[in-house]
A and B are shown apart, each in its own frame.
Chain A
Amino acid sequence: MSVFVQIPLLAASPGVSFAVLPALVLVPAVGALLVVCLPRRRPELLKLVAVATSVVVGAMSVWLLSGFDVVHGADVQFASTGTWMSDLGISWTLGVDGISLFLIVLTGVLFPIALLAVDPGHDDRAYYGWLLLLEAGVMGVFCALDLIVFFLCFEVVLVPMYFLIGRWGHANRAYAATKFFLFTMAGSALMLVGILAVAFLHAEAVGGPVTFDLIAIAEAQAVDATAARWIFAAFALAFAVKVPIFPLHTWLPDAHTEAPTAGSVILAGVLLKLGTYGFLRFGLYLFPEASHFFAPVFLTLGVVGIVYGAVVATMQRDLKRLVAYSSVAHLGFIVLGTFALNTEGIEGGLLQMVNHGVSTGALFLLVGMVYERRHTRQIDELGGLQKAAPILAGVFTVVMLSSIGLPGLNGFVGEFLVLVGAFNAHRWFAVVAAAGVILAAVYLLWAYQRVFHGPAEGDNATIPDLRLREGLVLAPLLALIVFMGVYPKPVIERMEPAVDALVAHLEAHVDGFEEPTSQFGSEVEVGTNGHGDDQHDHNGDHGSDH
């Protein structure tokens, strides 16, 4: 029957022997079904199947990396299409370009780590099932090139996450899970209306059948500018809640703090990126004019988020909550870079998405390990852990420094690019944001000092050090932190063509907009091609507006 999902076994991309993207989505989903069918009394078997599934998915995502054509990084690769609701113009169009590539790899890498790192303790079967379903949904979001399929996956991840927080979380879990679900569902409610509106208006304008194909709609740019701004607002609300952008962030500290360790790792590492990725793919690309129009709003909120997140993080007594608020600050950087609307900014934002996933994922793992040992996350009750657990403290130091943005580690590269991009576009925003880097050092170093230094009293003096299993789980993340800090070129060169194409798309479709690159002409050559002095006034205007 033609109505069933048809997955072509031979993908359109040359050199690819099977449809890897549908596999990325389907393998975890099938794995989840498999896990649910296994006997509930065999937790080790359940874990084995779950980890094996996620390792297979991770391997496929890494394989994707090797098969990715660097030269044509701007093009959609590994594309595959399956008919679905053809009556409504909806199809399973999946594809990867330089923007989504590393987010897919990040997802593929983080899930096995999260699965290996912590055991749920009870109801193992449901736990692994939900985690694998979550992976399927996230992969779907990053691969989808059809608006409805994107929305479906974007929404469906709420359900597994809701149950993960609600059933395996900490004391206040029911409240946190419900809040998380309702915030994100309410945020994306209007996005569905926006998706339908843009598709119908597009079909009306070009006179063809209704389609939800992202590329067709984005390249045509047939929707009237005023309508596009409204629709962009509907999309932006959904993404702003998901990111989350200040002042819509209030669900995040609760959800992160109450979630089980694996949930926090995935939530911070991957789920928040759905919002920032959404801004790039379905904001800037789909509505270039509206993105440019609203950019000052998001730049402002991004900077507010950076400073606010940092200040509030400093004040936290709960270590996990501190890390959660640091996410608000870090995601402010990503938003700032994205809406700088130039190559450096967007690239930095994209890189920061991956960095934040790695660093904050590792931080949540470490906090989870501390909690497992001491059964408390209160900073007051910890102290002097370094004496009993020097390796744990050492690993924490590296991860923390990466989160702060120390040169030589991954965080620096991303933050630097964001700041360069923001500086070129809107100087004062970059100046304020740079203060956020200092604040990050304040809250993390201070927290580190209180937790690991000082005299160790009571149980703090006798905690076991990092176990081999924990070390193995953290090792890949540490390797990534150092590798991407020292040699980010392989990552950047795969992102760059896609980001350049996105900026060119913006320039082509926004009247009078040229990429804001260096304002000092040839003196400080950061971008690929300096647009010279004529940019100066234009950008200066933007800077002084806010």
Chain B
Amino acid sequence: MLAVATPEVLWWTLLPLLFLSVGALLLLTVASIVRHLPDTVPQAWTVVTGLVTLVACVPMWQEVHDTGPRSTLAGSIAVDGSTVLVTALLAIVVVAVALLARPYLRREDLPGVELYVLLMLSAAGGVVMASADDLIVLFLGLEILSIAVYVMAAFHLRRIESQEGAMKYFVLGAFASAFLLYGMALVYGATGSTRLALIAEQLSTTVLVRDGMLLAGVALMLVGFAFKVAAVPFHAWTPDVYEGAPAPVVAWMAAGVKAAAFAAMVRVLVVSLGTHASDWTPPVGALAVASVVIGAVVAVLQTDVRRMLAYSSIAHAGFLLLGVQASDADGTAAVYAYLVVYALLATGSFAVLTVMGGEGDHAHHLDDYRGLARRRPVLAGAFTVLLLGQAGVPFTGGFVAKLGVLASAVADQGYWVAGIAMLAAAAAAFVYLRILVSMYLEDAEVVDGVTVSPTVPAGARVVIAVSCAGVLFIGLVPGPLLTLTRDAVPVLVGN
């Protein structure tokens, strides 16, 4: 008899992954058996799955905090603070998107179950990315996440923009995945392993006489990551997809996909390739500067609020890269804090957009926001908080987030990068001001003697209220978040 050596499996580390993927598959099975499923069932199921995943994160966090990070499944999955934090974040965003999705699907008269299934699968992919301890596993996670999102982006059957955006996203995304995979192959060639821990060990003990292959690999991986986080010059898909995709899906893309991609990026670059930081920080810094500047400046030229927020999300990606290029614990902690805050800002903002879209999901022009303060004062007030947060105004979470990444950049002597980023942020403020001007200082267009006021479904109310409260709370009492993210700095685990 041949004894097969099976790797040790720490099942508790896989719980979020199992919850999300099993939840998705169960829902898919049930929905294909039961003919007329009321549309509240898949929503409730997704919300419950998300909440259960979130709850599972609490003991995991305790365990990791008390006994240290782990590596399991023969070094393919790592569990540390960052894994748990990103998992929890993804779970929260899943719940928020599920809350937004049902009224949206009903309003647009779209069949719904698949969206929830894809959402949970995509989140499972995100969890894999955040916990990958091996390049191959990371790639698997990325593909699970991405393919689900490609379909979700095309989910609005009757809007040609939705199809167009999804097509662009898919084609360019496939290219980016190929770049990433090629980069991984080259890094494997240069170091002899795909496991992050072994790559780091190899690079810290061996001096590569000719490191061309490694550098090429890192560069190609950088391209792949930059595409996923929508950094300039790999951002071209963003405005079209944000404009075309259903607004709840955009909320997931902005908050969830970005968080997962940054978690993976930080793990690969800072943790695994930290010894070669001097090679990759300059290009990451360049990506950061290009993203903040282009994102802010081009956003000013837009008149569609979705495109404005798309470009502003590019600028936010630039700020996040600022924390990555610091390549130290402070910078990484700042990136995670930024991700949490941005997840709140993005879900809240796109929740407002979901509501504002109106039937047909096309009322996204700046003029559609005119006089909103008079028609829907509370909605306008909430959007104001979120926009001011995105602008980084003090006493909102946005400021705390920006302060962290800027501090890490300045501590790293990146004065110019930080200065340019701040000037770009001031330019970006103009974008948010334009929306504010439209909402508060201009009168609504009167169509046939009546002004149209958007209805705000209960789910969207919850999402908007929670994100606003979170943004203000973090702005006033940033201590808990900062402590949390300091504990969530990813570390090299595994043997």
Contacts and interface: CB of A to CB of B under 8 A. Distances in A.
A binds B: yes
Interface of A: 1-5, 84-88, 148, 151-153, 155-156, 158-159, 162-163, 166-167, 173-174, 177-178, 181-182, 185-186, 189-190, 192-193, 196-197, 200, 210, 230, 234
Contacts of B418: 193, 196
B433 interface: yes
Given A156-B393, A196-B407, A196-B418, 12 more contacts: A1-B479, A5-B477, A88-B403, A152-B399, A153-B394, A155-B399, A166-B436, A166-B441, A174-B437, A178-B437, A192-B422, A193-B406
A210 B427 CA distance: 30
B409 to A, nearest CB: 8
Nearest to B433: A178
A193 B477 contact: no
8 contacts: A3-B479, A85-B482, A88-B407, A156-B394, A178-B437, A189-B426, A196-B418, A200-B410
Contacts of A196: 406-407, 410-411, 418
Interface of B: 388, 393-395, 399-400, 403-404, 406-407, 410-411, 415, 418-419, 422-423, 425-427, 429-430, 433, 436-437, 440-442, 476-480, 482-483, 486
Contacts, number: 100
Nearest to B479: A3
A159 B411 contact: no
A174 B422 contact: no
B415 A86 contact: no
Nearest to A151: B394
Contacts of B419: 189-190, 193, 234
Nearest to A36: B381
Contacts of A159: 388, 393
9 smallest CB-CB distances across A and B, nearest first, come from A3-B479, A189-B422, A152-B394, A196-B410, A186-B426, A156-B394, A174-B441, A189-B426, A193-B418
Contacts of B486: 87
B403 A148 contact: yes
A148 to B, nearest CB: 7
A173 B436 CA distance: 13
A189 B425 contact: yes
Secondary structure type dominating chain B contacts = helix
Contact of B478 (A85, A155, A177): A85
B440 A85 contact: no
Contacts of B477: 3-5
Contact of A182 (B426, B440, B478): B426
Nearest to A149: B394
A197 B410 contact: yes
A167 B441 contact: yes
A186 B61 CA distance: 41
A342 to B, nearest CB: 33
B270 to A, nearest CB: 19
Contacts of B436: 162, 166
A85 to B, nearest CB: 5
A381 B344 CA distance: 54
A86 B423 contact: no
Contacts of A163: 440
B56 to A, nearest CB: 24
Contact of B440 (A87, A156, A166): A166
A434 B31 CA distance: 85
Contacts of B479: 1-4, 84-87
Contacts of A193: 406, 410, 415, 418-419, 422
Given A163-B440, A182-B429, A190-B419, A155 B482 contact: no
B433 A181 contact: yes
